[in-house]
Amino acid sequence: MGRKYSEEERREALKLADEIGAAAAARRLGINEDTLYGWRGRQKKQRRVLEEELGGRSEAELLAEIKRLKSELQQARADVEILQEAVGFFAKSRKK
């Protein structure tokens, strides 16, 4: 089993590989070239998955959706609070 590399180490190694090539970067860093190719493949796959999940939306669109969802959540919490108070009120009146 080989050495474990942090996400930051992998990111920097891939950046170096993009600049000087995978073989040269692997030699300079003292790691197997196949390791770099494996990291690159996983990075590309992660990017594809992220792009699919984002649905081609821009950052501005995502921020607008986050703002809308936060507003909806705030309203839902307020609704729950009102309903909890109503349940408490009716439970008290039923006991009488």
Round to whole Å and give the CA distance between 81 and 70: 17
pLDDT of residue 19: 96
Q: Are 14 and 39 in contact (CB under 8 A)?
A: yes
Residue 95 is predicted with a pLDDT of 67
pLDDT (mean) for 49-60: 86
For 25-52, what is each residue's pLDDT tens digit?
Answer: 999 999 999 999 999 999 999 988 888 8
Domains of the chain by residue range: 1-56, 57-96
Q: Is 17 exposed, middle or buried (0-12, 13-18, 19+ CB in 10 A)?
A: buried
16 near 29, Cβ under 8 Å? yes
Q: pTM for this structure? A: 0.56
Predicted confidence (pLDDT) per residue in 74-95, tens digit: 999 999 999 999 998 888 777 6
